[in-house]
Amino acid sequence: MPGNRLDPIDRKILAELQADGRMTNVELARRVGISAPPCLRRVRTLEEQGFIRGYHADVDPRELGFEVQVFVSVGLQSQAESDLRIFEDRCRAWPLVRECHMLNGEVDFILKCVAPDLSTFQSFLTGDLLTAENVGSVKTSLVIRGAKDEPGVPFDVLEERLSRSA
């Protein structure tokens, strides 16, 4: 299991930073029970090893005027690896597409899109997505409201699994 490559202090560092990526190194060190210099070294190592991919502000889209959120299910006509990569590259280039995940099952991809209004999303849908090469089917689901939006992973579940395997 990948999580067991880390010691408990590293996992605690990750959990604390996931909850609040803006805290100072001194505060982080205090919370995990070590001094600041080794804490900083551990954070840098976790970054270099790819456990920490970056630091981001959690921006409220509605406060910035992005009132529309849509999940889009996309079926492709061809699932050849080269065609999958072409579609993924296209999704990275579309600003309204905020997340793109390849799935197993009926649908090839699920996209999370945000737009300031329905007409902007409709323009993207009809002008870009539906006309994109290899797109065979598209189904949209407009988000009415969100009930949960937690970043990262549940560290308590990881710790429980690790304690059972020890």
Contacts of 57 by beta carbon, 8 Å cutoff, 6+ apart: none
Would you give the end-to-end CA distance of the chain in angstroms?
A: 12
Do 2-57 and 62-142 show the same overall fold? no
98's enclosing H/E stretch is: strand 97-102
C-alpha–C-alpha distance, residues 55 and 40, integer Å: 15
Residue 1: its pLDDT value, please?
43
CATH of 2-57, one of 1.10.645.10, 1.10.10.10, 3.40.50.300, 3.40.50.150: 1.10.10.10
- Report, as an integer, the average pLDDT of 110-133: 98
- Tell which phi-psi region holds residue 20, choosing left (phi > 0), alpha (psi between -120 and 50) or beta: beta
- Report, as an integer, the average pLDDT of 152-157: 92
C-alpha–C-alpha distance, residues 114 and 143, integer Å: 10
Going from N- to C-terminal start, the domains of the chain cover 2-57, 62-142
- Report, as an integer, the average pLDDT of 139-147: 96
Q: What pLDDT, in 10s, does the model give residues 58-95?
A: 999 999 999 999 999 999 999 999 999 999 999 999 99
- Report, as an integer, the average pLDDT of 134-155: 94
> How would CATH label the architecture of 62-142?
2-Layer Sandwich (3.30)
Give the largest Cα separation in the chain, rounded: 56
Position 4 confidence tier, pLDDT thresholds 50, 70, 90: low
